[in-house]
Amino acid sequence: MGKKELSGEERIMRVLDRGQPDRVPHFEWAIDRKVRAALLPGCRTLNEFAEGMGLDAVLADPDFKREPAGPGRWRTEWGYVYQESEEEHGVEVSSPIQTMEDLARYTPPDPRAPGRYATIEKTRNEFGGRKAVIVHLNDVFSIPRSLMGYENLLMAIAADPPLVQALVDLSVEVNLAMAREVAARGVRIVYTGDDFAGDNGPLMSPSHFRALFYPGLRRVMQGFKALGLKVIKHTDGMIWPLADMIVDSGIDCLDPIDPVAGMDLAKVKETYGARIALKGNVDCAHLMTLGSPAEVAEATRAALRTGMPGGGFILSSSNSIHSSVKPENYRAMLETLRECGEYR
């Protein structure tokens, strides 16, 4: 009798415990609608695509209201305005906080507002037990960035550290409150998508990160863990100067080990693989956009050869399947995973 096939939820939970499942799991944070339509015609949502293509996880976010703020623009419940783009996410163009006085007048969305978790409840009811239901929360950078604006936040790190610290504290408190609600609804895994770095290095000095962001990062991650939640931490870029702090904060998995930024999967696995799981890292910036299916297949095999041994590995792109990724290249990655990703 052959081995019992694990469910997607079982497979990913085993990986997050740094164990070895029956095969390497796969999912993506975002898959562009054009790619989804090319590979699964008639598919309307990312979770429908995950179901139809046999991915191991589905995603859900808390529900936040928005209102029109101009052509292609929306004002969110957080108070910032974003502009729609060709990608699945928009770009902030207006933010409500520039000073400590602004913050004193600011009220964040209520974590316990009616309907806040309707999508999460629906997703959990539909997929729970079959696929891993992963909920998007934040840690210490994305909310301050949205509330201040990207450039203003980076300048405030040096010019107004108390304001940055207060925004980090706000982000931690709101996300811990949402995590309590999420855990009470049976969710077992969350991810945070706050990017700390670019291709050439962190967005702030390691000393500024340690002083202003690391205490909050540790507090929010430890709070998630205390609720019984597994945590996948996403951050693009060359994060080596911050990596010890990120891992020490208490995460269960690091994503996406960005190869374009010089993050080497083998080195990360050697350094941290006994402590955390890893997710990544087929290059979606160049290879999956400009390369051939054969090249993507070889890069997928290389990632599997490096990440698979001993378990604790989720295969994915190096960020997401964005609008410039060729559908045939994503198909090549999926087919190669099916061929080479089984533990024997």
- 2 — pLDDT class (breaks 50, 70, 90): low
Residue carrying structure tokens 């099916």? 338
User: What's the token pair of residue 143?
Assistant: 């909310």
Contact by Cβ (8 Å): 90, 148: no
Does residue 170 fall inside a structural domain? yes
Residue 160 confidence (pLDDT) above 90: yes
State residue 47's pLDDT score: 96
Length of the chain: 344
- Determine the pLDDT at residue 1: 46
In a domain, 24, yes or no: yes
Residue 305 to residue 313: CA distance in whole angstroms:
11
DSSP three-state, residue 19 = coil
Of the pLDDT bands very low, low, confident and very high (cuts 50, 70, 90), residue 275 is very high
User: Is 71 a member of any domain?
Assistant: no
- For 1-29, what is the mean pLDDT? 93
CATH number for the domain harbouring residue 266: 3.20.20.210
What residue numbers bound the domain in which 253 lies?
8-63+98-340
pLDDT at 88 over 80: no
Using the Cα atoms of residue 20, residue 264, residue 287 and residue 326 in order, give the sign of their dihedral: positive
Whether residue 256 lies inside any domain: the answer is yes
Mean pLDDT of the chain, nearest integer: 97
Q: What's the DSSP call for residue 318?
A: S
Residue 85 pLDDT > 90: no
Determine the pLDDT at residue 89: 77
Closest CA to 313 of 329, 326, 298, 302: 302
What's the CA gap between 177 and 305, in Å, rounded?
40
DSSP codes, 102-124: HHHH--PPPTT-TTTTHHHHHHH
DSSP codes joined into one string, 196-230: -EETTEESS-HHHIIIIIHHHHHHHHHHHHHTT-E
Reduced to 3 states (helix: H, G, I; strand: E, B; else coil), residue 80 is coil
In a domain, 78, yes or no: no
Q: What percent of the chain has pLDDT over 70?
A: 99
β partners of residue 147: none
Confidence class for position 187, pLDDT limits 50, 70, 90 = very high
Contact by Cβ (8 Å): 133, 127: yes
**Residues 182 and 228: beta-carbon distance below 8 Å:** no
In the chain, what percentage of residues exceed pLDDT 90? 96
Q: Is 107 exposed, middle or buried (0-12, 13-18, 19+ CB in 10 A)?
A: exposed
pLDDT, tens digit (0-9, with 9 covering 90-100), for 279-307: 999 999 999 999 999 999 999 999 999 99
Residue 92 is assigned to a structural domain of this protein: no
Q: What is the per-residue pLDDT for 91?
A: 86
Residue 72 placed within a domain? no
Looking at the structure of the chain, the number of domains it has is 1
Distance, CA of 59 to CA of 38 (rounded, Å)? 21
pLDDT tens by residue, 207-216: 999 999 999 9
pTM metric for this prediction: 0.96
What local confidence, expressed as pLDDT, does residue 16 receive?
A: 98
Beta bridge partners of 198: 201
Q: Quick check: is 119 in a domain? A: yes
Amino acid at site 208: H
Q: Could you tell me if 153 and 120 are in contact, meaning their C-beta atoms sit under 8 angstroms apart?
A: no
By the 8 A CB rule, do 318 and 282 touch?
yes
For residues 97-109, give the mean pLDDT: 98
Residue 111 confidence (pLDDT) above 80:
yes
- The per-residue pLDDT for 156 is 98
Residue range 244-274, pLDDT digits in tens:
999 999 999 999 999 999 999 999 999 999 9
pLDDT one-digit tens code per residue, 322-341: 999 999 999 999 999 999 99
- The DSSP element (H or E) to which 180 belongs, if any, is helix 161-184
